Amino acid sequence: METTRTKVIEKAVGFEELISQLLSMLLEVDKNESISFGHKNIALSFNAKINLLIDLKFIPKEISKDFQLFAEIRNKFAHVLYVDSFVKCFEIIERRDYFLKKASDTISQADKNDESVYLTAFELLCFELGTWLRVTLKMISDKKSQDLNKTGAIEMIRSFIQYNPERREKELESFIKIIQPVIVKIIPDDEFIKEYKRLLKEAEEESKKE
C-alpha cells in the first residue's frame, strides 16, 4: 500500500523533472548536458530550482506561493521522520488554513484533524501546479518552434532574392513548394510581417533594376 510519504515524494520527483525542463528552456541550456539540472549530486536541489524560477520572475505570485508551500510539505516528509501524515506535517507548517482552503473555504476545527481532508487539498494543489507546469512548457515549446520557423522562412526568402533573375524565374515554383509548409506553420506577428514585407519590397526593387 502506498504511504503518504511515498505519494508526496513521487509527486515531487515528477514536478522536479518538469521544473528542470522549464528552466532549461528558459535559460537555453541543454538539460541532458546540464550540471545544474542533471541527475548528479551537484545538481541544484528541488528548492533551489523553485527559487530560481521565482527569482526569474517567471511564476505568477499565487503559483509561486503554491510552489513554496509544496516544497515545504515535500521537505518535511523527506527529512522529518515524525512526519508520516498530513496532519502531523501541518503541526509544524504554519500555513495550514491556506492549504486546507484548497479543499474547502469553510473548514471546521474537526476537519483539521481529518487526514482525508488534507489529502484532498494536496491532490488539488498538485493538480493546479501540474497543470501550470505542463501548459507553460507547451507554450514555451510552441514559441521556440515558431521562432525557428520564422527565422528559417526569412533566411530562405533572403537567400532566394539574392539569386540572379534567371535563376529566380527558373526555381520560383520549386522555391514556393519548399517554403509553403514552413509559412503555414507560422502564426504571423508584427515583427515577422514587417520583415516579410521588407524582403518582398527589396525583391521588387531588385527586379526593377535588372
pLDDT at 59: 81
CA dist., res. 174 & res. 168, Å (int): 10
Helix, strand, coil share of the chain (percent; to 5): 75, 0, 25
Report pLDDT for 54. 84
Number of H helices, E strands in the chain: 8, 0
Which of 153, 203, 199 has the alpha carbon at shortest distance from 180? 153
Long-range contacts of residues 193-201, Cβ cutoff 8 Å, at least 24 apart? 195/154, 196/153, 196/154, 196/157, 199/154, 199/157, 199/158, 199/161, 200/157
- Side-chain half-sphere CA neighbours of 71 within 13 A: 16
Which residue bears the cell 532566394? Answer: 160
Q: Is residue 19 a contact partner of residue 51, using CB atoms and an 8 Å limit?
A: no
Residue 204: what pLDDT? 60
Predicted confidence pLDDT, tens digits, the chain (210 residues) = 689 999 999 999 999 989 888 888 878 788 878 888 877 777 888 888 888 888 887 788 888 889 999 999 999 999 999 999 999 999 999 888 888 887 776 666 666 788 888 998 899 899 988 888 888 888 877 777 777 666 766 777 777 667 777 777 777 777 777 767 766 666 666 665 676 667 666 666 665 565
Q: How far apart are CA 122 and CA 172, in angstroms?
A: 60
